[in-house]
Structure 1
Amino acid sequence: MSGSTRRPCHTALRHAFSLALGVAALFAQAAGKESCPLLVASGNPEYPPFLWRDPADDKRLIGANAELMQKLSEAIGIPISVRYVGPWGRVQEETRQGNVDLIAGAFFTLPRLEYMDYFQPPIHTTRTVIWTQSSRSIDYRKWADLKPLKGLTVINNSFGEAFDRYAQRNLQIDKVASVESALKMLGLARADYVIYEEAPGLAYAAKLNVKGLKAASVPISNEDLFLTMSHRSACNTGSLRGKIAQVMHRFREEKVMEGLVEKYIQLWRNSPR
């Protein structure tokens, strides 16, 4: 067979091979889109100005972190639904199981590394304090000052790896289901102090009309608040984690969160009590 009769066959084979590659690429692209059609995010629902339940739809969370997730959604091209799935302890369990893809605001602890990845940089830095009755004189300057006292905090809350370890070994801290319960119990003198973040604590004390409380001037800790992703999330791929991390770096450089926190502090203050 002459060379002139072979060339058309080779050309046809090349066209067929190119077509096959193109079809495979289209299927791969479609599969990639279908593998992560939606990200479900949640977080601590008692955490204004960062997150709280939407009065107009109690299945949704609103706040600074919720709006940050919507901005992230626009940047990565994947819808993010910020949902109320239960109290903070339940949120962490749902994330462990992979039913929640993202936690929009969690402190770093070693145990949490077992079931979720942390994105750098952090969303925000928060200040955790002890709350006491104004009528009581408790001179708090260091963690050891809490040893003879009885404290309260919320189930599954963390206040930094170092303090968590110290508290477990040295302090008497009972855990309750909600910050509302903790502050009310403190107001009734059923504990000496409550440990909670400063901004959310102030917000809740005002909303619950719990008077006569004060925050110590020396913080328990100053901790970074992170965006995290469940290890069991179907969307947890290196490619998507890279995209999210890049966007979070851009948000940090543009100081997006600073503006959102101020916006939602005002919204919380003006919301119906």
Structure 2
Amino acid sequence: MQNRFLPVLLALLAGLLSPVAGATGACERLVATGDPEQPPYLWLDPQTPGQMIGASADLLELLAKTLDLKIDLIRSGSRPAAEQHVASGRIDLLLGSFPGGARRESLDFIEPALFVQSVVAWVRRERVFPYGGWSDLYAHQGVIQAGDRFTRGFDPLSATSLPLKEAPTLNEALRMLRRGEVAYLLGERQVVQAAAESLGMLAEVQPLPPLLSEGLYLAVGRDSACNTPELRARLAAGLTELNAAGLAGNLLQRNAARWLAQGLPSPSVVK
């Protein structure tokens, strides 16, 4: 009797203990999340509750197709919640994150960056002033859209350092620039460009060199069951291929226009 059932028991035990079978099943589909308040990179679609859209979402979809991977993008409620879910391993990928010191302890960031986020001062073409860096802005009155967090999140760009007014909307901030009430408008380059184009002002304004630029990265949680050197290498190769195709600019412009058309609250630059 013992000899009769021993092969069956051994086969069942081998199946239960096989790491290959478990890993394959766990990684047939990856799950990603991100900051739902990061337009034009990522935000909640008001027309489809719970669905996140934006340039990062579009690029993630292209990456999945390029690598023949299944990647689901889900909402986590907030930026801290998204980071915590990925750091704990409950979700595999974090979309559009800055590689801060604390994040590097729980996340593996994939090179190259998804996008490079730039904050610039926009000025009227006929009123360009000498500019060699952020310190040259002290002598001029500027404006931001109310609610933008980058002026309080980055040093030395802070509301207490620079003379900044607040406009209720980005369109109103551009109109203040047009009327000569301010000398510059601080904003994310692609978002301001889309707003200026929608107002027919693109020929009237120009950006100064960026005050700051930060890469927005795709990161894999170190505790994710799918985090392997092979996966990270595939993701890096796919991003390199997409980066070489020069898609970032078009994706950002299209989604900046999409966000503005929806009339949603201010975007933000977040550390």
> Is the CA contact (8 Å cut-off) linking 1:40 and 1:83 kept in structure 2?
yes
Does the alignment pair 1:139 with 2:130?
yes
Does the alignment pair 1:248 with 2:241?
no
More helix by share: 1
Amino acid at match of 1:62: I
Which structure 1 segments of 5+ residues have no match? Answer: 1-7, 86-90
Which is worse superposed, 117-126 or 37-46? Answer: 37-46
Alignment of 1:161-240 (within 5 A): 164-167=154-157, 171-172=161-162, 181-182=169-170, 184-185=172-173, 187-188=175-176, 192-207=183-198, 214-228=205-219, 236-237=223-224, 239-240=226-227
2: distance between equivalents of 1:195 and 1:111? Answer: 28
Task: State the SS of the aligned residue for 1:23.
Answer: helix
Residue 202 of structure 1 and its aligned partner are, at CA, apart by: 0.3
Cα pair distance change 1:198/1:270, threshold 3 Å: closer
Residue 70 of structure 1 and its aligned partner are, at CA, apart by: 2.0
2: distance between equivalents of 1:262 and 1:209? Answer: 20
Structure number, greater radius of gyration = 1
Query: What's 2:39 paired with?
Result: 46
Cα pair distance change 1:167/1:42, threshold 3 Å: closer
1: distance between equivalents of 2:203 and 2:150? Answer: 24
2: distance between equivalents of 1:226 and 1:158? Answer: 22
Count of aligned pairs: 250
Cα pair distance change 1:126/1:270, threshold 3 Å: closer
Backbone CA RMSD of aligned residues: 4.9
Match of 1:81 among 65, 69, 73: 73
Which structure 2 segments of 5+ residues have no match? Answer: 262-271
Which is worse superposed, 185-194 or 143-152? Answer: 185-194
Cα pair distance change 1:185/1:169, threshold 3 Å: closer
2: distance between equivalents of 1:192 and 1:241? Answer: 51
Does the alignment pair 1:119 with 2:110?
yes
TM-score w.r.t. the length of structure 2 is 0.63
2: distance between equivalents of 1:264 and 1:147? Answer: 33
Query: What's 1:88 paired with?
Result: none
Which is worse superposed, 199-208 or 29-38? Answer: 29-38
TM-score w.r.t. the length of structure 1 is 0.63
> Is the CA contact (8 Å cut-off) linking 2:119 and 2:186 kept in structure 1?
yes
Residue 219 of structure 1 and its aligned partner are, at CA, apart by: 2.2
Does the alignment pair 1:105 with 2:93?
no
Task: State the SS of the aligned residue for 1:119.
Answer: strand
2: distance between equivalents of 1:223 and 1:115? Answer: 20
Identity %: 19
> Is the CA contact (8 Å cut-off) linking 2:123 and 2:208 kept in structure 1?
no
2: distance between equivalents of 1:266 and 1:120? Answer: 22
Could you report, residue by residue, the CA deviation over 1:43-74 in whole angstroms, capped at 9, with x for unpaired residues? 55422xx4566575364343442122124445
Query: What's 2:264 paired with?
Result: none
